[in-house]
Amino acid sequence: MHSFEQIIKNQTDFRENILSFFSKERAEAKKLLNSIHSDDAYIIKEKNKLKSKFDKIKPKAYIERLFFLSPNRSITFYVWWDEEEKEAKILKYDKR
C-alpha cells in the first residue's frame, strides 16, 4: 500500500483531478437515473425515491473526508489518483 507521504503528495498534486472526477461521476449517475423510463408504478416509485436520496447527498463533504490533510479525515479510507487509468480510487488504509 501507499505510505502517508505518498498519499499526501498524490492528493496534493492531483486534488483538482480527483474533485473533477467525482463531479463527473455524480453527473453521469444523475443522468443515468433520469434516463430510466417505465410505465411500471413500482419502478417509477423507486426511481423517485432514489432521486430524492440523490439530491440529499452532500458529495463534497464526503470527498473532503477522504483527503489525508482534512481535519475530519476518515480513519479507514483515503482517495488516490491513479495516473495510468486517469481515475480516482477510494482505498482502505493498510493495517500496521
- Cell representation of residue 24: 463527473
pLDDT at residue 32, as a whole number:
95
**77 touches 86 (CB < 8 A):** no
State the first-to-last Cα distance of the chain, in angstroms, to the nearest integer. Answer: 11
C-alpha distances in Å from residue 56, one per residue of 23, 47, 70, 91: 15, 14, 22, 24
Q: Where are the domains of the chain?
A: 4-92
Confidence of residue 96 (pLDDT cuts 50, 70, 90): low
pTM: 0.83
